[in-house]
Amino acid sequence: HTLFVNSKTKDMRLTAVKDTFRTVTQDQAIAFTKMIKEQKNKFYDVGPPSMYEDLDTGLEQVREYQTMLKKFTHQKHELTNAENLFDLPQTSYPALTELQTELDKLVLLYKIYAEFKDFQDTMSSMLWADLDIVALNKGIEDLEKRVRKDVPKELKQNPTCKAVSACIANFKESIPLITDLKNDAMKERHWGELMEVTGVKFKMDP
């Protein structure tokens, strides 16, 4: 009789513990859903989609959101496993799915922008005398090709895509000026104007 009572008591305790964990898991899922919705709103209001006039900040934010969404995805899996363990219905997180989808689009655009920045940095590290106009043209044309071929049609009108394309186009338009400057001795202010237009700080010959 004592063994039976002890067994029933143990079962009741286990049930109570399980119920507690069920409640905790449900509360965590609710809190996680709320947090994801808040992050989604923040993403659109002050995040990467709104940074098309400040692409450098947008690039930093995209990288931050990539890290953040990895953590969110891991947290989602943990909550789903807990719901399965305690026989709870699985919570869906459409806001998280939307966030990931929109971020993936921007990752593609900002990857091209990052390549453009690397291209600028490479040009900046070269001495003026070593600057190869043919390589300059090819580099910028390759970036234009990336935008044309790699960016889906539905993204072409995206403000960020337009901003990235404008950066590349502005640089391309400056190449004839660079060619002229390589052939002529120009006043210092012309060098300054060129550097401002291209975003490249050319190293002059020592």
Nearest to 107 by CA among 153, 166, 48, 56: 48
pLDDT at 132: 86
pLDDT at 41: 97
Express each pLDDT in 55-85 by its tens digit.
Answer: 999 999 999 999 999 999 999 999 999 999 9
pLDDT at 80: 97
pLDDT at 115: 97
Collect the ranges in the chain with pLDDT lower than 70. 1-14, 183-192, 194, 200-206
pLDDT at 203: 62
Distance CA 18, CA 111 (A): 47
Distance CA 128, CA 40 (A): 46
For the record, the structure tokens of 65 come out as: 């959101």
pLDDT at 69: 98
Partners of 127 in the β-ladder: 203
Name the pTM for this structure. 0.79
Q: Which residues contact 122 (CB under 8 A, 6 or more apart)?
A: 139
pLDDT at 137: 93
pLDDT at 206: 46
Distance CA 191, CA 204 (A): 10
Q: Left (φ > 0), alpha (ψ -120 to 50) or beta: where does 185 sit? A: beta
CB 58 within 8 A of CB 159: no
